[in-house]
Amino acid sequence: MTETGEITEQELETGRKLFLKPCEFIAASTAISNLPPMDGPEVAFAGRSNVGKSSLVNALTQRRTLARTSQTPGRTKQLNFFNLDGRIRLVDLPGYGYAKASKTDVRAWTSLTLSFLKGRQTLMRVFLLIDSRRGIGDADREIMKIFNEAAVSWALVLTKGDKLKPPGLEKVASECRREVATHVASWPGIFVTSSQKTTGIDTLRAHIAGLARP
Ligand SMILES: Nc1nc2c(ncn2[C@@H]2O[C@H](COP(=O)(O)OP(=O)(O)OP(=O)(O)O)[C@@H](O)[C@H]2O)c(=O)[nH]1
Ligand SMILES: [Mg+2]
């Protein structure tokens, strides 16, 4: 990574190669008692229900059905762990902010995800996904607070970039950059992506490869 946070050609190539390797599902955890034992670096994907977490995991790994996606918010209910070539794990988290979720669901999300975030020494980075059309909302700000309190190193990823025209997307991106810069635990740059058009995916792959086992 250069000093300005820009990704070099070589890093892009390393990321591309890593994500061509086999990636398999290892576990779906519903309780802190059945999390897979910590074994090597992990990165997790968090964000509101329907923001595109599972789609991003699929776009990164170039598999359409590795992580289950859905038009109905609240699809992913467990913490789903995927093993990428024994070098890094990807963790697809359940979404938050789903209006129809029962109070019990919300509490279960918070307690399981919180324990995971707080107790996982192998968690290298959490990607906080934000829908480009919505920008950062109150629920997202709550999560940022949780990340900061749990000393989780996180980075913002804009999703569904294909849904906006370039000037609109750039406006949201610069607003997000400005807000992210006010948080010490956050990665200073943001990732602007579209899983559908696979834009920004190569940069994210390179970033993740930089956190993987050599
Ligand atoms: N246009 C567009 N649609 C997308 C993109 N990424 C995801 N979607 C759509 O958004 C919806 C939700 O995607 P998911 O990946 O299931 O979202 P999620 O964040 O995993 O949702 P939960 O598991 O319910 O929290 C699906 O209908 C996807 O097809 C994208 O880059 N562009
Ligand atoms: Mg999902």
Give residues (CB < 6 A) around ligand 1. 47, 49-55, 69-71, 73-76, 94-95, 159-160, 162-163, 194-196
Residue 1: inside a domain: no
- Classify 139 as helix, strand or coil: helix
Give every strand in the sheet of 23-29, ordered side by side.
Answer: 23-29, 79-84, 88-92, 42-47, 123-131, 154-159, 186-192
Residue 112: inside a domain: yes
pLDDT tens, the chain, 214 aa long: 554 467 899 999 999 999 999 999 999 998 888 999 999 999 999 999 899 999 999 999 998 778 787 777 666 678 999 999 999 999 999 888 876 666 666 666 678 888 899 889 999 999 999 999 999 998 899 889 888 888 899 999 999 999 999 999 999 999 999 999 999 888 888 999 999 999 999 999 999 999 999 9
Residue 124: inside a domain: yes
| Cα distance between residue 134 and residue 130, in whole Å | 7
Residue 214: inside a domain: no
Residue 2: inside a domain: no
Q: Tell how far the Cα of 195 is from the centroid of ligand 1, in angstroms.
A: 8
Point out the ligand 1 atom lying closest to the alpha carbon of residue 51: 19
Residue 80: inside a domain: yes
Residue 4: inside a domain: no
Residue of minimum CA distance from atom 8 in ligand 1: 52
Mutate to test the pocket of ligand 1, among 50, 71, 80, 130 (most ligand atoms within 8 A of CB): 50
Residue 181: inside a domain: yes
**3-class secondary structure for 144-184?**
HHHHHHCCCCEEEEEECHHHCCHHHHHHHHHHHHHHHCCCC
Residue of minimum CA distance from atom 10 in ligand 1: 52
Residues with Cβ within 8 Å of 143's Cβ and at least 6 positions away in sequence, in order, are 46, 96, 128
Count how many domains the chain has.
1
Residue of minimum CA distance from atom 14 in ligand 1: 52
Q: Which domain holds residue 98?
A: 9-209
Q: Tell how far the Cα of 49 is from the centroid of ligand 1, in angstroms.
A: 9
CATH code of 39's domain: 3.40.50.300
Q: 79-84 and 23-29: which strand pairing? A: antiparallel
Query: 26-45: b or e for each residue (b if 16 or more CB lie within 10 Å)?
Result: ebebeeeeebeeeeebbbbb
